[in-house]
Structure 1
Amino acid sequence: MTDVWFAGGLVADGSGGEPSAVDVRVTDDVITAIGSAPAGARTVDLDGRLLTPGLIDAHVHLGLSSPIRAQFGFQLSVAEIAADIFATAGHALDAGFTTVRDVGGVDGGVVDVIAKGKVRGPRVLSCGPVQCQTGGHGYYGAEWEPTELWPEHHVPGLCALSLMSGNADELRRNVRESFRRGATFLKLCVTGGVVGRHDNLSDTQFTVEEIAVAVEEAAARGTYVTVHAHNNAGIRNAVRAGARCVEHGTDIDEPTAALMREHDVALVPTFAVVDQILGGESMDLDPATKDRVAGVRDRMASALRTARAAGLRIGLGSDLIGPHQRRRGEELRLRSELESPMQALVAATRVNADILGLGETVGQIRAGMRADLVAWQSNPLKDAKAFADPQMAALVVKGGLTVKDIR
């Protein structure tokens, strides 16, 4: 048994309360006390730095860490795709993220090698491949590529973006296959999306009855369904079918927010990817993608205000894709501008942990929680730009192990 006190800093514990000058004792991989380090105790000197829980990104795509069209055009070797995935996992950890929820792209092997410590990365919860309807969002085959060739893009154990279903029976088979591969929750695309070629944001995809099949299969395993959804019709279909979380939620209006509140459905907005696309970073996307994203950021900001007013649980996800995923904390900076740095921090810790079903083990600094901690070189609650700069995450502790220390 090893005891160490993280001492001499300020602690923002993830609850939303004001930071306090207390010390944190970690025994092996668990936080065991909050108080004052006794004389002679083994300590890690924080030197006045702010200590927060390890950050959680509830919407990542580790399996989309390479140039997109090249990856799905058989232009990259499996070795290069793997190298990009593992590099992105390491970058997430270095930015202060100790837990992520992968909502489509990685296969179970990536989760396993990170969990075993063979590759640096955060704790990963994965849905495996996204569930999409035939030709719907999540399908990125070439224009004349036969539908039946799409699974050839999968690399078993490494990456598998989506499984397509033409009806409820096919969907049931595909979600069971996802669970066989190690999925711990399900994600369905129930509307069109921004990064796609075969659909529009206004499209709805899957019927209520089809979505309910996935919900039934998830419930049978004690887990849940989250949905990619931009428009209100698709969101309402998913809520009525029993989905527990909505990703993006770009056009949420008051009636839809009220329906989500009635059914305790959470929201995970995703602003960083919109800025990533508009910012012109080389993501190797179809040039038309910029046209599709026009206006999405303002509408998503309006939806955030509507959701907050309705009392929804609102998490945080970056949705970064392609080879430029180092600044994952940009999502917190953007949310800080729309709300406050403390609200962004709580969304990325306590609220995200609750949405992911991990609220009893991560997301806060208190006795009994897993020791996931970040000490910041510059206080991000005073200047949220620090959230976006990986160099500001001076010390990162995951499960009691120091995985980064540049103090």
Structure 2
Amino acid sequence: MWLTGATVIDGTGGDPVDSRTIQVDDGRITAVAGNPSANGETVDCTGLTIVPGLIDAHVHLGLSSHIDDAVAYRISVAEQAADMFENCRRTRDAGFTTVRDTGGIDGGLAGVVASGKVPGPRILQCGPVLCQTAGHGYHGADWEPTAWWHQHEILGLRSTSLPGDGPDEVRKNAREAFGRGADFLKLCVTGGVVSRHDNLSDTQFTVEEIAAAVSEASARGTYVTVHAHNNAGIRNAVAAGVRCIEHGSLVDDDTADLLARHDIALVPTLSVVHILARDTTRAGLPESMRDRIGRMYDEMVKAIHAARRAGVRVGLGTDLIGPGQDRRGLELMLRSEVETPAAALEAATRINADILGIGDEVGTIEPGKRADLVAFAGNPLEDPRLFEDPDAVVLVVQEGRIVKDLR
């Protein structure tokens, strides 16, 4: 297959190149030049801008329904599954050909999407997040005993969190997550915005507890990422040997320097804060949670700049939750305002691929890479609003197959 006539932004940081031809064979990019031959399909992309398949490094596909209703058994398993499948399809159709699910599913959903039974992106997932008793990630009702929490799981579909305390329990839960097909581990080491039992200033898990998970991940050749907002929790995670920080809302210059010295990546999540600051009820959360957000968006913007100054690898994630996750490109539009459209696109492609450990397979348009390609009707570097509009994504190629075509 040859995709011809498009402006190509290859994700390496170079300038866009007009009227390029991308050759695809057996699911891989074989050339970014030359002329089509008669021995394959020619796809006319004149007037379009082709970029690498986008990567969202922080999704929650298992939280695709009204959250409180789902946890309280007011939504059937069938409806929850339908919502997840539709979310997967919309995610891919928005140009995201790879995602990293950071809590809410297990290997079940990832497996049916990988098999082709459900349209969706390539999914890397951590299974249930590991949290401490009554810590962030635990969504039990106010007077619900933690021991009952496992009854909310739908194994093979939704598996939100595994509470545990002490290095031995953390180690056991890590092994359980891997047993359910996890590709990496995620721990919650501070309080969170969407929490019922803690504050953002809380630190959670000791260094020894976090290190137990790191040890288990290392034994399987993978890594630990952590939900963390405040600097004390982040420093504990660094001391324990984690590889990535999610959110990092309060990262200051000193903590950013620490992350850079240890080559620990940061994945900010502006979209969820932007949306929840306006309305929490649409996601299925109480209105009172808006009070927890405060100036979180502005603080996260400061953290992004601090991390960039220090030389930290800064990826991109949405953290969208609940229904209505159909405008996932909002994160790139917001990051374009914080930095530049080119920096936002690079974060969502090459840098995210590197953070996820799949940079040799995806993230740039280069010979040998998987043919994950997205074509916009226009140039998103000139008009970043295109990132946020699913209808502006007129062509999606996933592993060399056209899976969306609105040309």
Q: Tell me, yes or no, if the aligned pair for 2:47 and 2:377 is still in contact at 8 Å.
A: no
Corresponding residue number in structure 2 for 1:16: 13
Alignment of 1:333-344 (within 5 A): 333-344=333-344
- Helix, strand or coil at the partner of 1:288: helix
2:191 pairs with 1:192:
yes
* AA of the residue aligned to 2:406: I
- Helix, strand or coil at the partner of 2:97: strand
- Helix, strand or coil at the partner of 1:131: strand
The alpha carbon displacement at 1:39 in A equals 5.1
* AA of the residue aligned to 1:28: D
* AA of the residue aligned to 2:262: H
The alpha carbon displacement at 1:286 in A equals 2.0
Alignment of 1:279-318 (within 5 A): 279-280=278-279, 282-318=282-318
Q: Which moved more, 1:12-21 or 1:224-233?
A: 12-21
* AA of the residue aligned to 1:335: R
Corresponding residue number in structure 2 for 1:224: 223
Q: Tell me, yes or no, if the aligned pair for 2:279 and 2:287 is still in contact at 8 Å.
A: no
Corresponding residue number in structure 2 for 1:83: 82
Corresponding residue number in structure 2 for 1:262: 261
- Helix, strand or coil at the partner of 1:63: helix
CA distance in 1, matches of 2:252, 2:279: 30
* AA of the residue aligned to 1:13: D
* AA of the residue aligned to 1:23: T
Offset from partner CA, 1:344-372 (integer Å, 9 cap, x none): 00000000000000000000000000000
Corresponding residue number in structure 1 for 2:320: 320
Corresponding residue number in structure 2 for 1:383: 383
CA distance in 1, matches of 2:378, 2:197: 44
* AA of the residue aligned to 1:284: G
Corresponding residue number in structure 1 for 2:373: 373
The alpha carbon displacement at 1:72 in A equals 0.9
* AA of the residue aligned to 2:236: N
The alpha carbon displacement at 1:254 in A equals 1.0
Corresponding residue number in structure 2 for 1:149: 148
CA distance in 1, matches of 2:187, 2:76: 28
Q: How many aligned residue pairs are there? A: 404
The alpha carbon displacement at 1:151 in A equals 0.5
Corresponding residue number in structure 2 for 1:6: 3
Alignment of 1:123-138 (within 5 A): 123-138=122-137
CA distance in 1, matches of 2:332, 2:217: 30
Q: Which moved more, 1:67-76 or 1:54-63?
A: 67-76
Corresponding residue number in structure 2 for 1:363: 363
* AA of the residue aligned to 2:253: E
Q: Tell me, yes or no, if the aligned pair for 2:100 and 2:123 is still in contact at 8 Å.
A: yes
CA distance in 1, matches of 2:95, 2:36: 28
CA distance in 2, matches of 1:45, 1:225: 43
Structure 1: runs of 5 or more not aligned:
none
What is the identity percentage for the equivalent residue pairs of Structure 1 and Structure 2? 59
TM-score, with normalisation over the residues of structure 2? Answer: 0.98
CA distance in 2, matches of 1:149, 1:74: 14
- Helix, strand or coil at the partner of 2:309: helix
* AA of the residue aligned to 1:185: F
CA distance in 2, matches of 1:288, 1:230: 20
Change (3 A) 1:173 1:39: closer
* RMSD between aligned residues: 0.8
2:84 pairs with 1:66:
no
- Helix, strand or coil at the partner of 2:351: helix
